[in-house]
Chain A
């Protein structure tokens, strides 16, 4: 867990482009583009290059690039008159490369108006790869809008994943209890569910802190958030059910049954319903968050250990709770028998 905390918080973000101005230009003009970078060292490198990429064959190189301080760059482009594109407006991605920082890009950086939609081969750069510097280093990917909050992946997403693991354990233990009626299964399922509920609340809180920085508000009317809140309510009702039933014979049986019911109701709520509707939450609207394209390799190095670490931490906590419950139970029995 220390590894997660240290690696998660201290690994720097890759150099990237924060913004560029102006955003709009007419075709056929000369463009003076001011680029603002993040974690960049523009003045330490001499080979600063800038490109505007419209699509795979139309890439424009900058005529002149000036750097004044580590994070500001001035690039001069000659926008050609004819740019082949599907719409009336041609959109370009800005690519900046130097040998200290490597490559960084800003998607949809520039919109070119009034371009003649035909392809003219003269001004375009044909081979981009030879002109840019690709670097491998231990740094997290730079994504616009997210910036530094990408670190939240290790805490928020990992907490929900390990909560699911713990809940599967609780579900299994509840079924075992109903089959064999042994007390240890009931203790295990109760302690696992308790730790899962705590994890769930932590997940909600980390998510809302992230939301404050990314979306501007702590909570929003989003389907995934609503379903997660409902899941938390259902499991909190499990707590209340457990504490309100006095009759010991029925207590464990009913709480095991409710646990199974809640788990079976939970799976469609959290996984199926958000996939079907459009959602602001990352990783939805058709694509799951655990997909291969959603994680950079540097992120993976911290993310997978985070899931394991949090899951084992939860298992350890639930084990401690289970053992305290067992001790209380046996002490009660001993008092009753003696």
Chain B
């Protein structure tokens, strides 16, 4: 399945490259964030859509809900990290822009992917329970990840060399805080939802 998502991402980047032609760092940043959002949305939605036949639902009901949530979060996290790294290289391949501060970029990828995966996994499991509608999933999940997106935009701008911010660690800790907050709420609320 990772090849399918990789192809989806590659097509997106290629179309963007054809329309923008000359990708400046600011455009690189917004393209990265936008394509990452929609790739994450589609991939996590797709990973849940083939669970809706009764056999899988039966397996699901056997698992401990907290373990289920954490395993989904971890799986999606690794998935999104790999896709992000591939996307950075793909975007840099089509433009001449490469992140100047690679360590900061790596940290951002890890934190952003974790936040996205927590949020999307939680909302996806919620929508599985509520009658598997994908529009509900998108509408619920996109506003919730916007703070993570905004923070990622800011930190990416620093790592690309667009702006110079000496207090960037403040933003990084903020991102860590938002991730932990979402994770905590998901862990607390999820077993209540899953009890049947």
Tell me which of B129, B133, B181 contacts A264 (CB under 8 A). B181
Do A273 and B147 form a contact, CB below 8 Å, given A240-B139, A265-B185? yes
Q: Any chain B CB within 8 A of the CB of A178?
A: yes
- B interface footprint on A227-252 (CB within 8 Å = 1, 0 otherwise): 10010011001001100111100110
Do A247 and B131 form a contact, CB below 8 Å, given A241-B136, A268-B177? yes
Query: Whose C-beta in chain B lies nearest to the C-beta of A245?
Result: B130
Tell me which of B142, B146, B174, B189 contacts A261 (CB under 8 A). B189
Q: Main SS of chain B's interface residues?
A: helix
Shortest distance from the beta carbon of A140 to any chain B beta carbon, whole Å: 36
- A interface footprint on B122-154 (CB within 8 Å = 1, 0 otherwise): 100010011101011001101110110010000
Tell me which of A227, A233, A254, A261 contacts B130 (CB under 8 A). A254
Could you tell me the distance between the alpha carbons of A239 and B150 in the complex, rounded to whole angstroms?
A: 24
Interface-centre pick from B131, B140, B142, B174 (highest chain A CB count, 10 A): B140
Q: Any chain A CB within 8 A of the CB of B10?
A: no
Q: Any chain B CB within 8 A of the CB of A253?
A: yes
Are the C-beta atoms of A265 and B130 separated by less than 8 Å?
A: no
Shortest distance from the beta carbon of B169 to any chain A beta carbon, whole Å: 12
Could you tell me the distance between the alpha carbons of A64 and B11 in the complex, rounded to whole angstroms?
A: 77
- Give the chain B neighbours of A258 by CB distance below 8 A: 126, 140
Are the C-beta atoms of B150 and A245 separated by less than 8 Å?
A: no
Shortest distance from the beta carbon of A266 to any chain B beta carbon, whole Å: 10
Q: Any chain A CB within 8 A of the CB of B182?
A: yes
Tell me which of A233, A237, A265, A273 contacts B174 (CB under 8 A). A273
Are the C-beta atoms of A269 and B147 separated by less than 8 Å?
A: yes
Could you tell me the distance between the alpha carbons of A258 and B144 in the complex, rounded to whole angstroms?
A: 11
Tell me which of B129, B143, B189 contacts A233 (CB under 8 A). B143
Q: Any chain A CB within 8 A of the CB of B7?
A: no
Q: Any chain B CB within 8 A of the CB of A226?
A: yes
- Give the chain B neighbours of A161 by CB distance below 8 A: none
Do A246 and B193 form a contact, CB below 8 Å, given A254-B126, A258-B126? no
Query: Whose C-beta in chain A lies nearest to the C-beta of B143?
Result: A233
Could you tell me the distance between the alpha carbons of A145 and B135 in the complex, rounded to whole angstroms?
A: 45
Could you tell me the distance between the alpha carbons of A226 and B146 in the complex, rounded to whole angstroms?
A: 10
- Give the chain B neighbours of A241 by CB distance below 8 A: 130, 136, 139-140
- Give the chain A neighbours of B56 by CB distance below 8 A: none
Do A244 and B133 form a contact, CB below 8 Å, given A233-B143, A257-B192, A258-B140? yes
Q: Any chain A CB within 8 A of the CB of B170?
A: yes
- Interchain Cβ contacts within 8 Å, total number: 72
- A interface footprint on B155-189 (CB within 8 Å = 1, 0 otherwise): 00000000000000010001001100110011001
Could you tell me the distance between the alpha carbons of A247 and B129 in the complex, rounded to whole angstroms?
A: 10
Are the C-beta atoms of B129 and A240 separated by less than 8 Å?
A: no
- Give the chain B neighbours of A264 by CB distance below 8 A: 181, 185
- Give the chain A neighbours of B150 by CB distance below 8 A: 226
Do A265 and B182 form a contact, CB below 8 Å, given A230-B146, A234-B144, A244-B133? yes
Tell me which of A230, A257, A268 contacts B189 (CB under 8 A). A257
- Give the chain B neighbours of A237 by CB distance below 8 A: 139-140, 143
- Give the chain A neighbours of B126 by CB distance below 8 A: 254, 257-258
Could you tell me the distance between the alpha carbons of A244 and B133 in the complex, rounded to whole angstroms?
A: 9
Interface residues on B, range: 20 to 34
Could you tell me the distance between the alpha carbons of A180 and B186 in the complex, rounded to whole angstroms?
A: 20
Tell me which of B136, B174, B185, B193 contacts A244 (CB under 8 A). B136
Could you tell me the distance between the alpha carbons of A246 and B178 in the complex, rounded to whole angstroms?
A: 32
Tell me which of B130, B177, B185 contacts A250 (CB under 8 A). B130
Q: Any chain B CB within 8 A of the CB of A260?
A: yes
Could you tell me the distance between the alpha carbons of A50 and B186 in the complex, rounded to whole angstroms?
A: 64
Could you tell me the distance between the alpha carbons of A258 and B189 in the complex, rounded to whole angstroms?
A: 9
- Give the chain A neighbours of B135 by CB distance below 8 A: 244
Q: Any chain B CB within 8 A of the CB of A11?
A: no
Are the C-beta atoms of B193 and A257 separated by less than 8 Å?
A: yes
- Give the chain A neighbours of B192 by CB distance below 8 A: 178, 253, 257
Q: Any chain B CB within 8 A of the CB of A276?
A: yes
Shortest distance from the beta carbon of B162 to any chain A beta carbon, whole Å: 16
Shortest distance from the beta carbon of B153 to any chain A beta carbon, whole Å: 11
Could you tell me the distance between the alpha carbons of A246 and B132 in the complex, rounded to whole angstroms?
A: 11
Interface-centre pick from B133, B143, B177, B178 (highest chain A CB count, 10 A): B143
Do A246 and B131 form a contact, CB below 8 Å, given A258-B140, A261-B189, A273-B174? yes
Could you tell me the distance between the alpha carbons of A260 and B190 in the complex, rounded to whole angstroms?
A: 11
Tell me which of A227, A240, A260 contacts B147 (CB under 8 A). A227
- Give the chain B neighbours of A265 by CB distance below 8 A: 144, 147, 181-182, 185
Would you give 30 A-B contacts (Cβ < 8 Å), ordered by A? A226-B150, A237-B143, A240-B136, A241-B136, A244-B131, A245-B130, A245-B131, A245-B136, A250-B130, A250-B131, A251-B130, A253-B193, A254-B129, A254-B130, A257-B193, A258-B126, A260-B185, A260-B189, A261-B122, A261-B144, A261-B186, A262-B144, A264-B181, A264-B185, A265-B144, A265-B185, A268-B177, A273-B174, A276-B170, A276-B174
